Amino acid sequence: MKSSLFRVFLLLLVGFALPAPPAFSQEPTGGGSLIRDITGGAAIIFRAPKDPVVHAGNTTAGNLGGGKIKDTRKPKEAPPQPARKQDPILARANAARSASKPRYAEAEEQYRLAATIAPDDARAFAGLGNVFVDQGRFAEAVTSYQQALKVKPDYNAALLPLAFSLARMDRYPEAIETYQQALKTDGSNPEIFNNLSFAYNHTNRFQEGIEASQNAIRLLGDTGQAYAQGFQERNEILSYAYKNLGNAYNGLERYEDAANALKRAAAIEPGNASAHFNLGLTLFNARRYSEAIEAYKQVIKLRPTLAQAHFNLALTYFAINDKKQAMDEYEILKPLNAQLAQQLYSVLNP
Please answer whether residues 167 and 44 qualify as being in contact, where contact means their C-beta atoms are separated by less than 8 angstroms.
yes
What pLDDT does residue 273 have? 86
Question: What does the alpha-carbon distance between residue 262 and residue 21 come to, in Å, rounded to a whole number?
Answer: 25
Question: What does the alpha-carbon distance between residue 63 and residue 38 come to, in Å, rounded to a whole number?
Answer: 38
Question: Mean pLDDT, to the nearest integer, of 210-219?
Answer: 94
Instruction: Check for a shared fold between 1-36+288-350 and 189-269.
Output: yes
Question: Mean pLDDT, to the nearest integer, of 181-193?
Answer: 90
Of 139, 144, 174, which is closest to residue 157 (Cα–Cα)?
144
Which range scores top for mean pLDDT: 49-58, 182-191, 284-293? 284-293
What pLDDT does residue 76 have? 54
Question: What does the alpha-carbon distance between residue 289 and residue 278 come to, in Å, rounded to a whole number?
Answer: 14
Distances (CA, A) of 138 to 11, 85, 199, 233, 317: 18, 29, 17, 26, 41
The pLDDT tens digits for 297-334 are 999 999 999 999 999 999 999 999 999 999 999 999 99
Q: Which fold has domain 50-73+81-186?
A: 1.25.40
Domain ranges of the chain: 1-36+288-350, 50-73+81-186, 189-269
Please answer whether residues 149 and 121 qualify as being in contact, where contact means their C-beta atoms are separated by less than 8 angstroms.
no
CATH 1.25.40.10 fits 189-269, yes or no: yes
What pLDDT does residue 3 have? 39
- Would the pTM count as exceeding 0.95? no
What pLDDT does residue 189 have? 87
What pLDDT does residue 56 have? 65
Q: What angle do CA 64, 65, 69 make, to 5 degrees?
A: 100
- Residues 6 or more apart from 343 whose CB is under 8 A from it? 22, 311
CATH 1.25.40.10 fits 1-36+288-350, yes or no: yes
The pLDDT tens digits for 237-277 are 888 899 999 999 999 999 999 999 999 999 988 888 888 99
Of 301, 214, 309, which is closest to residue 264 (Cα–Cα)?
214
Between residues 45 and 17, the one the model is more confident about: 45
Q: What angle do CA 207, 238, 250 make, to 5 degrees?
A: 35
Q: Which amino acid is at 229?
A: Q
What pLDDT does residue 156 have? 85
Distances (CA, A) of 214 to 176, 211, 218, 279: 17, 5, 6, 18
